[in-house]
Amino acid sequence: MYAVTGLGFVVAYLSDSSNTLVTDAMGVVWHTRSIAEAEATVGFFTMIFVAALSTVKLLQRLLVTHIR
């Protein structure tokens, strides 16, 4: 589930080409494409990485218990 959530940000970034301007409460203007890019970057380097690392650790544990 963690990997699916992380992949959701990446897929949303890759599939959506719209770029609109939004203004936050402090008056700073942001591009929605930049926000999506930041979400995809964080999702890839944290959520997907942790999910892949967890999968490797689980497979290692299964392999060790299977050999015994």
Tens digit of pLDDT for each residue in 44-67?
A: 899 989 999 999 999 999 988 887
What confidence score (pLDDT) does residue 31 get?
Answer: 95
pLDDT tens for each residue of 7-38 = 888 888 899 888 999 999 999 999 999 999 99
3, pLDDT greater than 90: no
**pTM reported for the whole predicted model:** 0.69
Amino acid at 24: D
Q: Provide the residue ranges of all domains of the chain, joining segments of one domain with +.
A: 2-67
Distant-in-sequence, close-in-space partners of 43: CB < 8 Å, separation ≥ 6:
5, 6, 7, 8, 9, 10
Q: What secondary structure, in 3-state letters, does 1-57 show?
A: CHHHHHHHHHHHHHHCCCCCEEECCCCCEEEHHHHHHHHHHHHHHHHHHHHHHHHHH
